Chains A and B, each alone.
Chain A
Amino acid sequence: MNVGIYVIPFVLFAIILTALIKRLPVFELFLSGARQGISAIFKMAPSIIALVCAVTMLRSSGLLDAIIGLISPILEPIGFPPELFPLSVLRPISGSGALAVLNDIYKSFGADSFIGRAASVMMGSTETTFYAIAVYYGSVGISKTRHTVPCALAADFTGMVMAVLSTRLMGG
């Protein structure tokens, strides 16, 4: 069962047809959306450059492998690939950082390897938790966030463990 190949064509067809039926200026709307997209990428570019450089240094200095080697006695027995540890730590903190690590994982192991697929699922099913918490509460001046952080991190943790489990079981 390969749902993936049907999603994009179906979504494209449905969206454009609906908009045409409603007589919307589809081309102009597309241009204005794409313009927002490119400005979002421009805004993200400096932090991506900063973090990709840092992660490349971490990888080629050998320190990344040293850290992975150091924690693998703890993670390996429970079935969590130690190679995914850096991504799982950085994911809730920094979106650009996680993207840099994901890119590094694809380069080192391949996108279709087990590590690559589990990392993809991990990236797709979790969010930059701390950033969202800071933006939303910051906007209304709330400083006591009560049970937000533990609940959100427990959700992220579930997503990460499930990413490894589901990739292992379904080969996805």
Chain B
Amino acid sequence: MMNYIWAGIILLSVIYSFLTGGCAAITNAVMDGAKNALALIAATAGMMCFWSGIMKIAHEGGITEMAARVFAPIFRRLFPDYAQDKDVCSAVSMNISANLLGLGNAATPLGLEAMRLMSRRLNSDSASNSMVMFVILNTASIQLVPTTVAVLRSESGSSDPMGIIVNVWLCSAAALAVGITLAKLFESR
């Protein structure tokens, strides 16, 4: 899909600028774009590295397990099929907790492990209710500190980069609530 989107953006931009006589702008845009891209990477790289380092300390310090213990009762309700399965419960809650703390590097392997454990009881190529619920939890952004956005805001001259955080929490919670409710409603289908 990205092949078509990326190619489409470039081809259509060239055609449009040709039709409207703005070819010079496209030539400049290519050079500006490449420069902007590196500036964007340079602007975010330092803080992303620092945050990854801090989160590694947090993870090893047991923060993920702690969060996982706090959320365990909720997860047992969301995944009734696996409420008795300790391995699945722990992989699921570790994955969600890692996501919550913004530990992308740690979250994905834990999530894949949870999917593998859940698929052991499944003999078809169709997702189970619990799998759907788990993937929906992962497609909803449940990050406590929106680091990337905050860094980019501060680099773009924002006077209050973290000022969006309460809104982000509200919106994530609303999105998550809709996702979970719909998933539960569709389960019997």
Q: How many residues on A have C-beta within 8 angstroms of the other chain's C-beta atoms? A: 100
By size class, the interface of chain B is 35 or more
Tell me the bound Cα distance from A136 to B99 in angstroms: 14
A57's partner among B10, B111, B125 (CB-CB below 8 A) is B10
Interfacial chain A residues near B70, Cβ < 8 Å: none
Contacts A26-B57, A129-B139 known; A61 to B175 CB distance under 8 Å? no
A100–B34 Cα distance when bound, in Å, is: 11
Which of A4, A62, A124 is the one whose CB lies under 8 Å from B16? A62
Min distance, Cβ A66 to any Cβ of chain B, angstroms: 7
Contact between chains at A60 and B28 (CB < 8 Å):
yes
- Nearest CB of B to A116, in Å: 8
Bound: A141/B112 CA distance, A: 12
How distant is the Cα of A49 from the Cα of B138 in the complex, in angstroms?
Answer: 26
Q: Which of A148-162 contact B (CB under 8 A)?
A: 148, 150-152, 154-156, 158-159, 162
B83 contacts the other chain (CB 8 A): no
- Is the Cβ of A136 less than 8 Å from the Cβ of B115? yes
Q: How far is the CA of A152 from the CA of B177 in the complex (A)?
A: 11
Given contacts A57-B29, A137-B135, A163-B171, contact A4 B163 (CB under 8 A): yes
**Residues of chain A with a CB closer than 8 A to B131's CB:** 137, 142
> Which residue of the partner chain, among A15, A127, A154, contacts B63 with CB atoms under 8 Å?
A15
User: What sequence of 0s and 1s flags, for each residue 28-47 of chain A, a beta carbon within 8 Å of any chain B beta carbon?
Assistant: 01111110111011001100
A97 to B29: give the CA distance in the assembly, Å. Answer: 16
A48→B51 CA distance, assembly (Å): 20
| B143 close to A124 (CB less than 8 A) | yes
Question: Which residues from chain A contact B156 at a C-beta distance below 8 Å?
Answer: 103, 106-107, 110-111, 116
The answer to whether B49 and A125 touch across the interface, beta carbons within 8 angstroms, is no
| Contact residues in B for A78 (Cβ distance below 8 Å) | none
- Chain B neighbourhood of A50, CB < 8 A: 6
* Alpha-carbon separation in the docked complex, A27 to B12 (Å): 50
The answer for the CA separation of A66 and B6 in the assembled complex, in Å, is: 18
Distance in angstroms from B123 CB to nearest chain A CB is: 12
15 A-B pairs, CB-CB below 8 angstroms? A7-B145, A15-B57, A22-B61, A38-B45, A49-B41, A53-B30, A53-B37, A58-B13, A102-B152, A120-B149, A144-B127, A145-B135, A146-B132, A147-B189, A166-B170
Q: Which residues of B contact A (CB under 8 A)?
A: 1-2, 5-6, 9-10, 12-14, 16-17, 20, 22, 25-26, 28-30, 32-34, 36-38, 40-41, 44-45, 48-63, 104-105, 108, 111-112, 115-116, 118-119, 124-127, 131-132, 134-136, 138-141, 143-146, 148-149, 152-153, 156-168, 170-172, 174-179, 182-183, 186, 189
